[in-house]
Amino acid sequence: MHLSDRTHPGHLDEAILSALTGHSADLVVTAGYMKKLGTRVRSAYASRIINIHPALLPRHGGKGMYGRAVHESVLASGDKISGPTVHILTDDYDTGPIIAQHQVPVLPGDTPDSLAVRVLGAEHQLLPTVVQQIAAQRESLTPPEQR
């Protein structure tokens, strides 16, 4: 299923919410989705939407801080570590509670591209681990007769 402003002009928020509720989604993993989710989805799934950001938050987050700009910011700051952050999605970019982070060293001679490659590798390890932990926690809270 593909949902976008192109397929649902002016109604994307409603279409995403309908798809999520229609599939009985319990957790939404935006995994770096580059658009802000609509207010209906954010409200319906408050505290159940997680995202991953390619830098340690809160230092290198906020509007416009994505892709190469994040890694340029880390390098320009002189930080010695970077790495992905998994956080709860809220109404403001990259401000939700942090669930997990993984530190990636900034190496001498790093470029935004070389740093991005290492951080992306860490993202691919961190996000599935966090999702598995959330699923396991929810499973342990579900009565056996409902499993």
Residues catalogued as catalytic: 53
By three-state DSSP, how is residue 26 classified?
Answer: coil
Q: Which two tokens stand for residue 139?
A: 């499973």
| Contacts of residue 41, Cβ cutoff 8 Å, sequence gap at least 6 | 13, 16, 17, 20, 28, 49
Question: What single-letter DSSP state applies at residue 80?
Answer: S
Q: State how far Cα 1 lies from the chain centre.
A: 20
Rounded CA-CA distance 15/7 in Å is 9
